[in-house]
Amino acid sequence: MVDASPPNGAESDSQTQPQVEQQKSIALVDDDRNILTTLSISLQAEGFATRVYTDGETALKALLDNPPDLAIFDIKMPRMDGLHLLQALREQSSLPVIFLTSKDEEPDEALGLALGADDYITKPFSQRLLVARIRAILRRSELVRATPEEAVQENLPEPVVRGRLRLDPARHLVDWDDKPVSLTVTEFLILEAMALRPGVVKSRNQLMDAAYSDDVYVDDRTIDSHIKRLRRKFRAVDPEFAAIDTLYGAGYSFSDG
């Protein structure tokens, strides 16, 4: 059984499951040790390896030094809450993140998605739903590690080239003028939806459908926040980047001219 009570917020690595090839690791960050224990046992039973952290500051260093495949954050925590943890993490990493929120934290929930979270689960939550969400996000993000040979074997999509943009859906890689741009799973899916049909205006609802599963409901203005983050990331490699157009009242489009 994983020890969900590490001293001073330090991590605890589960060793109860037999090691199998391609075993996915999940980091759990929550100051409630009972939740950590319950989640660890449940996820280990599903074949995942788990690490637990009881505060955001300790978790941040560990997530950057030794990234897991996915992380689950509580929002309300001492020292560094989940929102600040995500914000700091996104400055250096596109690690998939799921938020655990309470029903009275809906504004935080929307802000978390805008900051780059890939999904959220509302407490109290179904273990089955959580596992389903984890598997869906891992499936999308594991293509980052696919080699070109694996892409061919699995009949994965070919790279998409639109002017100075190159999207590789099989490996979740993005280049602009041959310079890499690191995107979260959600940001990638939004950009891909626009780039596949350059010049065609995509409504916020259409972009939400491309980026989120059917059982995730977000305010349409969350898409605006993702677009701002996309522009900021591309302008970090090209200050003149202007390929994402806004048609006010209608939506967004990608211009490859």
**Could you report the per-residue pLDDT of 11-24, keeping only the tens digit for each?**
555 444 444 446 89
DSSP codes joined into one string, 137-171: HHHHHGGGG--HHHHHHTTPPPPEEETTEEEETTT
CA–chain centroid gap for 218, Å, is 15
Tens of pLDDT, residue by residue over 46-58, are 999 999 999 999 9
- DSSP code of residue 7: G
Two domains, one topology: 7-142 and 146-254:
no
Confidence of residue 116 (pLDDT cuts 50, 70, 90): confident
Residues 63, 187, 44, CA angle at the centre, nearest 5°? Answer: 40
Give the pLDDT mean for 200-226: 76
Give the pLDDT score at 16. 43
Cα separation, 102 vs 117, whole angstroms: 16
Cα separation, 199 vs 99, whole angstroms: 34
Confidence of residue 5 (pLDDT cuts 50, 70, 90): very low
> Domain 146-254 carries which CATH code?
1.10.10.10
Query: Out of 85-99, 101-115, 121-135, which region has the weakest mean confidence (pLDDT)?
Result: 101-115
Asked if the model's pLDDT at residue 8 lies above 50, the reply is: no
Whose tokens are 């994402």? That residue is 244
Its pTM surpasses 0.75: no
Confidence of residue 220 (pLDDT cuts 50, 70, 90): low
Domain boundary assignment for the chain = 7-142, 146-254
Give the pLDDT score at 208. 83
Please state, rounded to an integer, the average pLDDT across all residues of the chain. 81
**H-only helix segments in 169-220:** 185-195, 204-211
Domain 7-142, what fold? Rossmann fold (3.40.50)
